[in-house]
Structure 1
């Protein structure tokens, strides 16, 4: 049996030799180029990292830069020169958070240090309020003291959000440990109960003379309809001091002095801003020299600079106002609007009408795209307009003015020159692009702001 196998193998030696030779040839023909390709890619990776001194880890905790890579076939590897970046160019690609921005601003101007804690409290509150607004339709019960005597569901929702936003902002400012916060009572401001807005806050920095007036949630009635709302604030520096220690005064005297300290014209502001709660949460503010816009990153939960050095276009193509009140407006303003709508204005183009009903949303759009936002006096229902000067109209006017725009009251001139007598005092306002507001101003007479028709129809 074994002898037969040996004889068979000898006789078929030539056949076996041919099979073995073919197998070796196939191995050399097929797998070797594939192996070379893989090897070339591995070697090219080693070459790239070793060239830029990037550590390669070869098991354990040992770090090695590896030997120079051997030459590889150019058919399998194309070397791409990596861009060389300076430290400055790398920094510009990193997101600039609000905390970092304020820290850098304080380094450049030490006088802003006392504002930093105030802004940190505001940004912390804005993050929480943004979450509350987004969940407005999901929260159905809060403290019973808000529910009493409220039958209108929309009003209940508005009052609920106003209350929660006020509590959040008040606690956030107190949490900094550097702010005294007051919700002024009507008796301190000589306001009638109908005019008083209970949610407004006044904050004072304990380490400086900075005082701020804040509206925690403007446009809260829009929240259930998922329409944008916002927080507005303006920061002043106390004009005078009585020289008497704060702790030697009664609580009522301290509160009254705090209220009086914010009754200043808008031109005295040291900072102003607003936070828009909409499809994105955007915080826009100015420290007096430029306007910066930060957007809340929902993953990082940080405000990131997205609109540096905002400037309003010199001319827009949109006007924003509540035309339901047009029957009570003066002929001059109605004439101005007709010219805008028919293309008979200075630009010769027809303007579009956009009105959200939330001042923060309307001003934000105007700031980005230009145009004019207006809330004129209405002789039927709102003889002084319907927007509070101190914590709505004046801060917005200050922001737009800093961004290169213009703001007037239609009576005495610049809106920033008007000094309020009360915290909740209202004023007509016209805010927007410089040329648009100037065009409307040309419709006014010099006779103490009385409107007149200039015959442009």
Structure 2
């Protein structure tokens, strides 16, 4: 596949349209590679001596390939600056262009070998002359954001700041087709997603919320809850957009986890923009709105809680009274 147009309500012309279309095209190319799995080589192979990138997570061969494919797609686009989770510094693409793109080119790379969902996340901001300052702004400065999921179907979720649309890649036609306009996160839900193996490291309020979820109808929540954990942020977010629920990746007492693990710029801010545009809520693990917060550095980490607004608010209340 060499071209993947997007059926969407983008402006007929302009920088934002061109940039989103190029991101969609790169996403389709990565999806083709992911679908080949081991037939495309050892995509799960660790890279370098340390096997870790600038943000400190394990770096796989597919991380670098995906980063290159997105970089190639954005070359020549109206994008002044590109910040990638896989790169230490901001890259200059077309200085003077009106947009800046922050990108997690491959989310969930721990799932490569086990054939579980992967994805990519992007954030689009207005560019200013200072490349670093273009990105170190509150999440509310975004003009568009979205993510791709490489699963049984390849899906693209997109917001331009006026609602959320969901697309599915039609491989025969070579284009993303609109599957649902105006996505809204269901408000009635009985699902939560968290890595329960870390319970002993959590703050008391989060442990109390988790314990009441396990108690179900016999506890304070008064209803049985289902626990989910896919180890892929994009897959968790996609499920919440479809079925509702809450996702939690809190800070905890382990070394290196004191400020959470998800990147504010590449993961938390774009997810928060999408979630809020779909009627949900996104906060840190103390209840502070993610979109009000600006990263202090390109790879700064943050706790993240998002999903159905009522459930996110409930988590904040448990934390506040602990």
TM-score above 0.5: yes
| Preserved contact between residue 203 and residue 213 of structure 1 (Cα < 8 Å) | no
C-alpha deviation, 1:199, in angstroms: 8.0
CA 151–295 in structure 1, closer or farther in 2 if over 3 Å, else same: closer
Partner of 1:365: 239
Q: Secondary structure at the match of 2:8?
A: helix
Alignment of 1:375-394 (within 5 A): 375-381=249-255, 382-394=257-269
Q: Secondary structure at the match of 2:149?
A: strand
From 173, 176, 190, the counterpart of 1:303: 176
1:178 has 2:78 as partner: yes
The superposition leaves residues 148-206 of structure 1 with CA deviations (integer Å, 9 ceiling, x where unpaired) of 54899xxxx952101110111000111x443345467xxxxxxxxxxx84389767666
Unaligned runs of 5+ in 2: 53-57
Alignment of 1:188-267 (within 5 A): 197-198=86-87, 208-238=97-127, 241=129, 257-267=130-140
Partner of 1:349: 223
CA 287–183 in structure 1, closer or farther in 2 if over 3 Å, else same: closer
C-alpha deviation, 1:98, in angstroms: 5.4
C-alpha deviation, 1:384, in angstroms: 0.9
C-alpha separation in 1, matches of 2:232 and 2:32:
18
The superposition leaves residues 226-262 of structure 1 with CA deviations (integer Å, 9 ceiling, x where unpaired) of 0101110111124x54xxxxxxxxxxxxxxx312211
CA 315–207 in structure 1, closer or farther in 2 if over 3 Å, else same: farther
C-alpha separation in 1, matches of 2:234 and 2:248:
13
Cα RMSD after superposing both structures: 2.7
Q: Secondary structure at the match of 2:197?
A: helix
C-alpha deviation, 1:293, in angstroms: 0.5
Partner of 2:55: none
Point out 4+ residue stretches in structure 1 off by more than 6 angstroms: none
- Scaled by the length of structure 1, the TM-score of the pair is 0.63
The superposition leaves residues 403-455 of structure 1 with CA deviations (integer Å, 9 ceiling, x where unpaired) of 0001111236111111110111000111000111111111233xxxxxx43xx
C-alpha separation in 2, matches of 1:396 and 1:197:
18
Partner of 2:65: 164
1:106 has 2:7 as partner: no
Partner of 1:56: none
| Preserved contact between residue 158 and residue 221 of structure 1 (Cα < 8 Å) | no
| Preserved contact between residue 202 and residue 211 of structure 1 (Cα < 8 Å) | no
From 267, 275, 300, the counterpart of 1:400: 275
Q: How many aligned positions are there?
A: 311
Q: Secondary structure at the match of 1:396?
A: helix
The superposition leaves residues 356-412 of structure 1 with CA deviations (integer Å, 9 ceiling, x where unpaired) of 001111111111101100001111231111111111011111101110001111236
CA 336–320 in structure 1, closer or farther in 2 if over 3 Å, else same: same
Q: Secondary structure at the match of 1:260?
A: coil
C-alpha separation in 1, matches of 2:115 and 2:201:
30
Unaligned runs of 5+ in 1: 1-96, 185-195, 242-256, 446-451
CA 203–350 in structure 1, closer or farther in 2 if over 3 Å, else same: farther
| Preserved contact between residue 103 and residue 123 of structure 2 (Cα < 8 Å) | yes
Greater helix share, structure number: 1
Q: Secondary structure at the match of 2:318?
A: coil
C-alpha separation in 2, matches of 1:397 and 1:373:
12
| Preserved contact between residue 183 and residue 202 of structure 1 (Cα < 8 Å) | yes
C-alpha deviation, 1:101, in angstroms: 2.1
C-alpha separation in 2, matches of 1:393 and 1:275:
15
CA 429–202 in structure 1, closer or farther in 2 if over 3 Å, else same: farther
Structure label with greater radius of gyration = 1
Q: Secondary structure at the match of 1:366?
A: helix
C-alpha deviation, 1:350, in angstroms: 1.3
C-alpha separation in 1, matches of 2:262 and 2:108:
11
Q: Secondary structure at the match of 1:310?
A: coil
